[in-house]
Amino acid sequence: MKFIAYRFDCWPLQLATTCDPELDEKENEIAHESFEKRLEILSNLFGTEEDVEYSLGDGTHPPFKKDNDVILRTYKTKKMKMDEAIEEEYSTLMADGRINEAEKLIATSEPEDVTKIPKAIYDELIPARVIYNLGNAFVVRIQKKRPLEGEDKNYHSIIYKNNYVSSMAILIFHHGMQYLLIENTRKTYSPATIARVFEHTFNRLLMAEYHLMVTVNPIRKLSDFWMQMENIINQGRRIKSIRFKFDYPNMPWPDDLLGGRFKRLGRNLNAEAEIKLKGQHGQMLDLKTKEGERDPDVNSMVRYSCDKGNKVYAELDNKSVMTLGNKQTGTVEVNLPDSIADTQENKNPKLFPDNIGDKVLEEANKLRVMNN
């Protein structure tokens, strides 16, 4: 079976500030203590034999997990709808030479407060089941009810209402490995939609009680990124600037790499960082794309972006802007034994079959060192 590899990242969240400094400090301590225990918290949410509830901001506690059945939640956000439109408008402004307006658009396009997610009463609920458990890795099946159209014996159209289909996802909560592998199929939802469902579910589970938020992004190969950049140059285009965004860091990172320096800044300042490299006085960047010729600091930042699933933005000499994410540079596919599909019959999951469990962890470790 083929799966697409995503990675989830957490960051500590201060929900609000009050007039009580001691209370604020306590809230901050909860967030950072939860951040340090994030893998344990997530693993317990899916792996415990006890029932688990959502602790929602409105004070309600609906069920998340009962036995092995789970209820995933997804919500609509304006930001999701605006992303592509903003990028398109940014490219248009740059192409027209309205650089100041374009920079202002990007600077103001981020939401002021990402903690203001919609009320849970508007959530779409999606049934799922944990069908295998490897301690801190889980196989989950996500189900969707779909009408099946046919005809009766009198040639009249008929819809069979009780038709269900499911897709598989694998959650991996290991030290140094925070992965979500999603079956590469559209039987229920697209892999990108399932990734968003898990991101929203994580946020519902973690935000109110643990003061954490999560993003889920498709990881990319470093080599695919540089191949795309080389293709741009081979088409006669030149790179005027390149912009990186570094989210709050989650995992250990070598300090001798430039990405590691941003990791320290992120931890020390509770910050995300951006860096933009551009040619002096409007000139083009002297960007080398071939292996062995690449600038090591730039390569470090690209590697960090690919591992975390962050997008990179390249401004070309015709003032257009190319967004370099998985849609441009490709997704990372993981192959697992077809026998994993047979696990859906297991209603009391305890352990993976040895061959499947070993293979899951082997493939996860390959992802971890893929861009080294």
When computed from its CA atoms, the radius of gyration of the chain, rounded to whole angstroms, is 22
Residue 258 pLDDT > 70:
no
Higher pLDDT residue, 4 or 109? 4
**What is the enclosing helix (H) or strand (E) of 276?**
strand 273-278
In this predicted structure, what is the pLDDT of residue 52? 95
Q: What pLDDT sits at residue 201?
A: 96
pLDDT at 112: 43
Q: What digits encode the pLDDT tens for the residues 147-170? A: 778 888 888 888 777 777 788 999
Among 299, 274, 315, 275, smallest CA distance to 222 is for 299
Over residues 273-297, the mean pLDDT reads 85
Question: How high is the pLDDT of residue 44?
Answer: 92
Average pLDDT over residues 219-242: 91
User: Which range among 101-110, 216-225, 315-324, 336-345 shows the weakest confidence by mean pLDDT?
Assistant: 101-110
Distance in angstroms (rounded) separating the CA atoms of residues 36 and 18: 24
pLDDT at residue 90 is higher than 70:
no
Alpha carbon distance 179, 139 (integer Å): 12
**25: exposed, middle or buried (Cβ count in 10 Å: 0-12, 13-18, 19+):** exposed
Interval 103-130: pLDDT, tens? 666 555 544 445 567 888 889 999 999 9
- Rounded to whole angstroms, the Cα distance separating 347 from 364 reads 25
CA–CA distances in Å: residue 45 to residues 10, 57, 65, 206, 338: 15, 18, 8, 10, 27
What percent of the chain clears pLDDT 70, i.e. is strictly above it?
77
Looking at the chain, the whole-number percentage of residues with pLDDT higher than 90 is: 29
Evaluate if residue 210 carries a pLDDT over 60: yes
Give the DSSP letter of residue 119: P
Q: Are 220 and 325 in contact (CB under 8 A)?
A: yes
